[in-house]
């Protein structure tokens, strides 16, 4: 015992003294004081917390334990200053000691905290598990117990409890407390983002079929804006969709973006198209912490000082970009980038789902129109065939009858085109994936095609296959009908392509080509034949008389082969336009 302790023994008769070893050697002037006998240094720190302890007596044979006691004292100082909370509690969950950090969280002093129930100290938080009685579990089993607590003000703590055995005292627990509020709130935000993503893509069939395409897109845009603003706290937003055929980044949604910036034409290219163009071209997110010193940044909103741009990716394909901006420099953290990238994937999925459902709706409508068109196409062609036959007999005899027949022809053609136009209106452009309609297919729109074949199925298939690309298809059973169809339709510029079987009921496809040559400067002819079937050598003769080598279809042929042949004829028409025609009404000469 040190000198100051010896002198103080006689001054305070109520003090307690701790003795490690034999107490017989203690100073006689401390005989009236309470002596606490301990057989080791482990429980000394607990006893030293008592305010009336005047000192510690260590016998010579126990002196080597002084270094152990010093280590415990140093450990106690470390526990007091740890960034995590630490507490010592008894079997009844009463706090025996708490470090500074725990006292700060509980807003208590050491005097008020000691003796309180541990849960009361933290404001009686909700125990969220996984162990709903962690202290009891540790007391009973001796194994470490842990649980998550939700305290007031939306704060979360992770507690871990372990036992401490005292030889002369009841069992106690050492409890460590970690503030996991940030981690829990981030997890909750991630879950909220995933739920928002599911809500974006939750396009119910009744909504799809009750709403127009534009209305459904506007609702999706409003949901995106709502979640980005209210959930992620992004106030300046821009979404652009990528047209893969052109590389153009088309504006879909702009919130807080200057109008000039929203209307700016951008392309998926890493240079000269801002951060948005770079992200669309690379498929990688881009964080701009200081727009003044960023070579890629193009201003979007007034006073923007930082931004994040993430790609909208689905199945490794970039569908567009999602951009948010802030007036603050370095406003976005790694968590903001993570949240935006997660939400961007959900937006891409929602856009794709909407596109598929809209396409499904459009496809259903188109099938209805196709069914109607298929039912009337051949009967209307029959009307055309009969009308041109009747009109041929009245040409030069009754102008009034010819005029009426011409009106019948025009009205019959109008019926087919009206049905086709209705089908196109019911198949909105939003239903066609970007870049799906190729330049090759666009060249077919509005082109008039005459198909000559005695087989009803061939003529019906011609309507079904070609009209979906915007072609105007008419058919004839035999050669004479085809000649009259050409004459009644204006002769030299009546049809862009004429497709004929080489064997017709009245004569061959080659002979039809020659007869048409009398009323057309150049016949845009395609001949169809089965493999090995050409007894009259029609193909050879036709090629000798100007049929292009590529303008032959061998049955059965694929749709792409048919499209290729038609485009070949259209290219020939452009390269060698018609230069004149036989006057309307001149009968074709006889061709053997």
pLDDT digits (tens, 9 = 90+) for 411-421: 777 777 776 66
Between 430 and 545, residue with greater pLDDT:
545
Query: Residue 109: exposed, middle, or buried by beta-carbon count in 10 A (0-12, 13-18, 19+)?
Result: exposed
From the list 420, 516, 388, 502, the residue with the least C-alpha distance to 455 is 502
Angstrom distance (rounded) from CA 537 to CA 530: 13
Query: Residue 211: exposed, middle, or buried by beta-carbon count in 10 A (0-12, 13-18, 19+)?
Result: middle
Predicted pLDDT of residue 497: 94
Q: Which two tokens stand for residue 391?
A: 């009109």
Query: Residue 140: exposed, middle, or buried by beta-carbon count in 10 A (0-12, 13-18, 19+)?
Result: exposed
Angstrom distance (rounded) from CA 516 to CA 527: 13
Q: Which two tokens stand for residue 269?
A: 């290219």
Predicted pLDDT of residue 479: 93
Instruction: Name the pLDDT band for 565 (thresholds 50, 70, 90).
Output: very high
For the chain, the first-to-last Cα distance in angstroms comes to 139
Predicted pLDDT of residue 389: 77
CA triplet 360, 366, 369: central angle to 5 degrees? 150
What does DSSP say about strands 53-58 and 552-555: parallel, antiparallel, or unpaired?
unpaired
pTM of the model: 0.42
Predicted pLDDT of residue 585: 39
Q: Which two tokens stand for residue 313?
A: 């990716």
Residues pairing with 161 in the sheet? 145, 175
Residue carrying structure tokens 């040409």: 395
Predicted pLDDT of residue 281: 94
Instruction: Name the pLDDT band for 493 (thresholds 50, 70, 90).
Output: low
Q: Contacts from 123-128 at CB under 8 Å and sequence distance 24+? A: 123/151, 123/152, 125/149, 125/150, 125/151, 125/152, 125/157, 126/150
Q: What is the DSSP string of 531-558?
A: TT--TT-HHHHHHHTT--TT-EEEES--
Angstrom distance (rounded) from CA 574 to CA 153: 76
| Average pLDDT of span 170-186 | 82
SS3 223: helix
Domain boundaries, the chain: 3-72, 81-179, 186-358, 369-575
| Residue 504 CB contacts under 8 Å (≥ 6 apart), including other chains | 452, 453, 454, 478, 479, 512
Residues pairing with 255 in the sheet? 237
Is 369-575 the same fold as 186-358?
A: no
CA gyration radius, the chain: 45
| Residue 443 CB contacts under 8 Å (≥ 6 apart), including other chains | 567, 570
Q: Which two tokens stand for residue 245?
A: 């055929």
Predicted pLDDT of residue 587: 41
pLDDT digits (tens, 9 = 90+) for 250-264: 888 888 888 888 888
Helices (H), 22-65: 44-48
Angstrom distance (rounded) from CA 149 to CA 172: 21
The answer to whether residues 574 and 553 touch, using CB atoms and an 8 Å cutoff, is: no
Predicted pLDDT of residue 453: 93
Out of 3.40.50.720, 3.40.50.300, 3.30.450.40, 3.40.50.12780, which CATH number does the structure's domain 186-358 have? 3.30.450.40
Predicted pLDDT of residue 533: 60
Q: Is the pLDDT of residue 333 over 90?
A: no
Least confident of 480-484, 516-520, 578-582: 578-582
CATH T-level assignment (fold) for domain 81-179: Beta-Lactamase (3.30.450)
The answer to whether residues 587 and 567 touch, using CB atoms and an 8 Å cutoff, is: no
Most confidently modeled of 279-288, 429-438, 463-472?
279-288
Residue carrying structure tokens 């039809």: 512
| Average pLDDT of span 328-355 | 81
CATH T-level assignment (fold) for domain 369-575: Rossmann fold (3.40.50)
From the list 448, 446, 586, the residue with the least C-alpha distance to 517 is 586
Q: How many helices (H) and strands (E) does the chain have?
A: 20, 20
Q: Is the pLDDT of residue 382 over 90?
A: no
pLDDT digits (tens, 9 = 90+) for 510-543: 999 999 998 888 899 999 987 656 666 788 888 8
DSSP E strands, 493-548: 497-501, 525-530
Least confident of 169-173, 198-202, 492-496: 198-202
Predicted pLDDT of residue 434: 40
């Amino acid at each position: 015992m040190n000198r100051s302790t010896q002198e103080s023994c006689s001054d305070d008769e109520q003090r307690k003294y701790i003795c490690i070893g034999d107490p017989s050697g203690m100073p006689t002037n401390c005989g009236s004081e309470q002596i606490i006998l301990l057989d080791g240094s482990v429980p000394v720190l607990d006893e030293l917390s008592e305010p009336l302890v005047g000192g510690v007596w260590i016998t010579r044979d126990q002196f080597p334990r002084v270094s152990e006691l010093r280590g415990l004292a140093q450990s106690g100082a470390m526990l007091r200053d740890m960034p995590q909370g630490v507490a010592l509690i008894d079997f009844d969950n009463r706090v025996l000691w708490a470090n500074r950090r725990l006292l700060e969280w509980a807003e208590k002093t050491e005097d008020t905290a000691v003796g309180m129930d541990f849960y009361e100290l933290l404001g009686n938080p909700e125990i969220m598990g996984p162990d709903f009685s962690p202290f009891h579990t540790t007391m009973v089993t001796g194994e470490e117990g842990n649980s998550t607590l939700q305290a007031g003000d939306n704060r979360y703590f992770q507690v871990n409890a372990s036992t401490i055995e005292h030889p002369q005292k009841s069992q106690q627990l050492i409890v460590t407390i970690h503030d996991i509020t940030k981690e829990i709130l981030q997890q909750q935000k991630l879950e909220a983002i995933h739920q928002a993503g599911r809500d974006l893509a939750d396009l119910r069939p009744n909504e799809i079929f009750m709403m127009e395409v534009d209305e459904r897109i506007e609702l999706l845009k409003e949901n995106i804006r709502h979640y980005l603003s209210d959930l992620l706290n992004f106030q300046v937003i821009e979404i652009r969709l990528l047209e893969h055929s052109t590389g153009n980044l088309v504006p879909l949604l702009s919130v807080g973006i200057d109008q000039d910036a929203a209307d700016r034409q951008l392309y998926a290219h890493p240079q000269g198209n801002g951060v948005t163009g770079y992200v669309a071209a690379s498929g990688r997110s881009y964080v701009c912490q200081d727009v003044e010193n960023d070579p890629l940044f193009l201003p979007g909103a007034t006073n923007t000082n930082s931004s994040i741009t993430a790609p909208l990716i689905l199945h490794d394909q970039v569908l567009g970009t999602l951009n948010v901006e802030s007036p603050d420099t370095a406003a976005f953290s790694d968590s903001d980038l993570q949240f935006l990238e997660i939400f961007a994937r959900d937006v891409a999925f929602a856009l794709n789902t909407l596109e598929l459902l809209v396409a499904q709706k459009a496809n259903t409508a188109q099938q209805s129109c196709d069914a109607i068109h298929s039912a009337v196409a051949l009967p209307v062609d029959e009307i055309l065939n009969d009308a041109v036959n009747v009109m041929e007999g009245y040409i030069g005899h009754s102008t009034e009858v010819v005029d009426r027949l011409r009106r019948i022809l025009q009205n019959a053609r109008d019926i087919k085109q009206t049905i086709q136009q209705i089908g196109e209106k019911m198949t909105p452009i939003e239903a066609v994936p970007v870049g799906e309609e190729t330049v090759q297919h666009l060249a077919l729109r509005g082109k008039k095609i005459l198909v000559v074949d005695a087989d009803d199925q061939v003529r019906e298939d011609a309507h079904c296959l070609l009209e979906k690309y915007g072609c105007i298809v008419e058919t004839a059973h035999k050669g004479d009908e085809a000649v009259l169809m050409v004459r009644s339709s204006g002769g030299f510029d009546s049809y862009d392509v004429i497709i004929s079987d080489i064997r017709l009921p009245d004569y061959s496809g080659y002979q039809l080509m020659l007869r048409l040559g009398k009323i057309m400067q150049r016949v845009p002819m395609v001949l169809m034949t089965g493999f090995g079937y050409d007894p009259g050598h029609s193909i050879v003769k036709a090629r000798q008389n100007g049929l292009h080598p590529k303008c032959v279809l061998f049955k059965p042929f694929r749709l792409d082969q048919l499209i290729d042949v038609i485009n070949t004829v259209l290219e020939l028409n452009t390269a060698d336009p018609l230069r004149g025609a036989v006057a309307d009404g001149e009968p074709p000469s006889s061709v053997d």
